[in-house]
Chains A and B, each alone.
Chain A
Amino acid sequence: MPSQEQVSTEVKHIGLLRKALIGKHALTIDFNGMEWGGKLSLTEGMFESNDETITCLKNIFAFPVFSFSWQATTSPLTFPLEPKLAFYQALAGVQMDEHRLTSYRESFSKLPPVRLKAGALFRLDAEDMNQYKMLYYMGLAEKGVRISDYLNSDDPALLLRRTRVVLTCYCLGQLIPVTNIKEPTTKMSMAARILARLRKDA
């Protein structure tokens, strides 16, 4: 990824974070908000393990990011931190105002229908885990789930929980678009037919 600078009041930086994690790029990303700035260092899909990482993640999730820039790095990480652990720490108890939640809802609602790849999100608390299961279950539908449907709630507390789940799943690459299916193998054909039958009974 070549170095760049972007000005953003939306959530483009979340997309960059996802690409950096999934693509396992070695980058440093600088973020600037209204009264804060922060830096993330990533290599091979891992963060640098330090307080700055968690604080920066908390800020970029909870507050508007006015500008961000990134550049490639060759410096190895001193203490690699698994992203699921970093997200758990950063999102635990994080609060978002109504405007922030609306920004996420509008942005994620533009995504095409998705399925959820069952990943190892063990560190979600019990209630977040229930909301994760809900998203997973909705994604099992024949045409997948639209995030707009999942985030369609007037209850701010529920919307916050669901936004946390979507942020985590999105950035960790667990949302899979429902796209063209390749020529099915026998095993796929069987699995797809059984799934279709179970959906009928749901």
Chain B
Amino acid sequence: MAIAKITVSGPFGSGKTTLIKHVSDEQFSGKDVPTTGVLAQFKSMTTVGLDFGILNVDDDLDVHLFGTPGQSRFNFMWKILSKGALGGILLVDTASDRALVEAQDMIKIWKEIPDFPLVIGATKQDLPEAISLDALAETLASEETPMFTVDARKREDNRMLVMALLQEILLAEQGASEMDEMDVLDL
């Protein structure tokens, strides 16, 4: 049985647990405990330890989805969990200054990993205080990284992010070029 690994990361409260739930056949949530300290005003419960989900692809392949803890004190785990992964999904609450700062740290770590494709899901874009996708791309120094607005509560948005990551891997491995010798997209 082969195992592929996908890492889901994002600052505290960005929707990692829900994404893994929406994509997995089996989900094993890390221990949810009451949030304490300054973060308690944002979310009543949070995950300590790992979120983990399994998607059974076929008889020979499972996907393990790891949700890395959002709090920055766990940042030593982000790189460890990303080793050997197909790629990563970064969820960012675009209406939170704190989340944006944490996301900057996370993406820096991922960018240090060679051959590590990633996609970014920008959440809470409907809120008036949300920054634009342009501003997010600039903040994360990720102007060429695929980025989608997502509603983290929506199953189809979460699944699309995972599928987008997989398609990016396929296109990159295929060496897809915009214009091949026989330009089949000529009008």
| Chain A residues in the interface with B (C-beta under 8 A) | 10-12, 14-15, 18-19, 22-23, 107-108, 110-112, 114-115, 117-120, 122-123, 126, 129, 133, 136-137, 139-140, 170, 173-177, 179, 181-182, 184-185, 187-188, 190-199, 201-202
Question: B112 at the A/B interface (Cβ < 8 Å)?
Answer: no
The answer to whether the Cβ of B96 comes within 8 Å of any Cβ in the partner chain is no
Nearest CB in chain B: distance from A201 CB, A: 7
In the complex, which residues 113-167 of chain B have their Cβ closer than 8 Å to any Cβ of chain A? 119, 125, 132-134, 136-137, 143-149, 156, 159-160, 162-164, 166-167
User: In the assembled complex, which residues on chain A have CB atoms less than 8 Å from the CB atom of B175?
Assistant: 182
Task: Compute how far the CA of A108 lies from the CA of B186 in the bound complex, rounded to whole angstroms.
Answer: 10
29 A-B contacts (beta carbon < 8 Å) = A12-B187, A15-B186, A15-B187, A112-B184, A117-B176, A120-B144, A122-B132, A122-B133, A122-B134, A123-B133, A133-B160, A140-B163, A176-B171, A176-B176, A177-B184, A187-B173, A188-B170, A188-B173, A190-B4, A190-B61, A190-B86, A191-B167, A191-B170, A193-B61, A195-B167, A195-B170, A198-B159, A198-B162, A198-B166
- Known contacts A111-B185, A170-B185: A136-B178 contact under CB 8 Å: no
Instruction: Tell me if A194 and B63 are in contact (CB < 8 A).
Output: yes
The verdict on B50 contacting chain A, using a C-beta distance below 8 Å, is no
CB of B187 within 8 A of CB of A110, answer yes
Give the chain A neighbours of B101 by CB distance below 8 A: none
Which B residues lie within 8 Å of A139 (CB)?
167
CB-CB nearest in chain A for B56: A197
Q: B169 in the interface, Cβ–Cβ < 8 Å? A: yes
Chain A residues within an 8 Å CB radius of B167:
115, 118, 139-140, 191, 195
B1 at the A interface (CB under 8 A): no
Evaluate contact between B137 and A122: CB separation under 8 angstroms: yes
Asked if B80 is at the interface of the complex by the 8 Å CB criterion, the answer is: no
A12 to B186, CA, bound (A): 8
- Tell me, rounded to whole Å, the shortest Cβ–Cβ distance linking B145 to chain A: 8
Indicate if the CB atoms of A198 and B185 lie closer than 8 Å. Answer: no
B183: A residues at CB distance < 8 A: 19
Whole-angstrom CA separation of A175 from B179 in the bound complex = 10
